[in-house]
Amino acid sequence: MPLKYLHTMVRVKDLDKSMAFYALLGLQEIRRHDSEGGRFSLIFLAPPGQDEAPIELTWNWDGDDELPSDSRHFGHLAYEVDNIYETCQHLMDNGVTINRPPRDGRMAFVRSPDNISIELLQAGDALDAAEPWASMENTGHW
């Protein structure tokens, strides 16, 4: 039985905040479906040139009180980055908390505005340990 990956769906409360967060990660909108009758939007985002691996943001126009405050049961999304230190600095400079800093030069975790854990992994070998990352403590959950 052949199987093909399609996408990962996450529900979001504030579409503007979520779109801004995923744009900081470098994801771009590749398609959108707005349902007038269902009063929801489906927005598909992917890294440039990787339309085959999207995430789907589902936004209910009238709010979504059913979202848990901590979405750890979801697990996480994972993205490979060219330079984990530069990526984390870019996110921090734009107000994103680095929940698990890349102390090892290899892995970091951040959270979306809807508490979705995002794992960032260094492409190739780990970078040499560097400050301020090497001594930075964890913040919150990841």
* Mean pLDDT of the region 7-28: 93
Q: Is the pLDDT of residue 5 over 70?
A: yes
pLDDT of residue 7: 85
pLDDT of residue 3: 59
pLDDT of residue 77: 87
The structure tokens listed for 74 are 């979801």
User: DSSP code of 126?
Assistant: P
Enter the pTM of the model.
Answer: 0.78
* Mean pLDDT of the region 24-53: 95
* Separation in Å, CA 97 to CA 13, 47, 75, 85, 110: 19, 21, 18, 14, 6
**Active site members:** 119
Q: How many CB atoms lie within 10 A of CB 74?
A: 16
The amino acid present at 126, given as its one-letter code, is A
